[in-house]
A = this chain, B = another copy of it.
Amino acid sequence: MRNFTSIQDVDDVNILVSEAIELKKNPFLFENLGKRKTLGLIFLNPSLRTRISTQKAANNLGMNTMVMNLDKEGWALETEDGVVMNGHKAEHIKEAAAVLGQYCDIIGIRSFPKLENREEDYSENILKKLISYTGTPIISLETATRHPLQSLADLMTIKELSPNRRPKVVLTWAPHIKALPQAVPNSFAEWMSDSNVDFVITHPEGYELSDEFTKGAEIIYEQDVALQDADFVYVKNWSSYNNYGKILSTDKNWMLTNKKLYYTGNARVMHCLPVRRDVELASEVLDGQNSIVINQANNRVYAAQAVLKNILENNF
């Protein structure tokens, strides 16, 4: 593949997942593949897990990494065309992207939505302009609408634990004190709908995701019903898509507890982290035997490594 910004960029998802699982067993098998190649990581928003896991993945392949925290260092980017640049934005994405594209062989970008204007966020303007102007392969490190490196790690985690059967996977909304993007659930829904799983989404009314991402998923508004016989429960908060960016519920009954878990098929519990204990997810679940969130986070390294390996092999 050329870019990795959504599942549509992937030629064969099964092969990519298998490769990630293989790399986990032997992370240094391709440690010279990325020699003399530079990965540029552009963060327009903070990152910890994504930066560290992607940097580690690049190291494992012998690549150099250069990190640019554009929210702090450097300068604010203008992303609109035809603007007279007499405000606080010192550089246009046209120049910034073209220059960074010369310094780097592959570029990763993180750019969160503002959650104010749905049309603007969902246009993925920054991502699209970066792809137009850099001339290098682009990897999403979570953009306004998707977080595909997370979803690949999620699918890899499910496949590791259910290699030979079709599991039931439930994505359940959880309460949170902040309005969060839909990127992780959008992306997870998109990947699950394309995989060999029975996929159910449960959330309070009003929290429907864009049907662009949920085609093929069953949506159930009663959490208890949805959780029945689940093999995997993915816990995640998001803000409303229809009433864009708004918090419609803080109902504590939606928090996953051991009691709720009891009605599943002894389901494994997933979360992309960071998780707010006893707000999104009960401590008793996180500290219990069913939680696989730490292994899921570990798989971020090998998901990123499989993506980088694929791009290196197909573009250089």
Contacts and interface: CB of A to CB of B under 8 A. Distances in A.
B66 A99 contact: no
B91 A273 contact: yes
B102 A75 contact: no
Interface in A121-158: none
A298 B274 CA distance: 38
Interface string A79-92: 00011111000111
A83 to B, nearest CB: 7
Contacts of A30: none
Chain A interface main SS type: mixed
A301 B66 CA distance: 14
B28 A84 contact: no
Contacts of A72: 72
A40 interface: yes
A293 to B, nearest CB: 7
A298 B135 CA distance: 13
B66 A56 contact: yes
B52 A103 contact: yes
A217 interface: no
A55 B46 CA distance: 22
Given A95-B294, A98-B294, A103-B301, A276 B69 contact: no
Given A46-B74, A64-B59, A276 B28 contact: no
A62 to B, nearest CB: 11
Contacts of A48: 68, 70, 73-75, 96
Contacts of A275: 91-92, 95
Interface in A275-316: 275-279, 283, 286-287, 293-294, 297-298, 301
A278 B91 contact: no
Contact of A95 (B46, B91, B293): B293
A53 interface: yes
A36 interface: yes
Q: Which 5 residue pairs spanning A and B have beta carbons closest together?
A: A91-B274, A48-B74, A85-B276, A102-B298, A99-B297
Interface of A: 28, 31, 36, 38, 40, 46-49, 51-53, 55-56, 59, 64, 66, 68-70, 72-75, 78, 82-86, 90-92, 94-96, 98-100, 102-103, 177, 273-279, 283, 286-287, 293-294, 297-298, 301
29 contacts: A38-B56, A46-B73, A46-B74, A47-B73, A48-B68, A48-B75, A49-B99, A51-B73, A56-B64, A75-B274, A82-B283, A83-B277, A84-B277, A84-B279, A85-B276, A85-B277, A90-B274, A91-B273, A91-B275, A94-B286, A95-B275, A95-B294, A95-B297, A98-B294, A98-B297, A99-B294, A99-B297, A102-B297, A102-B298
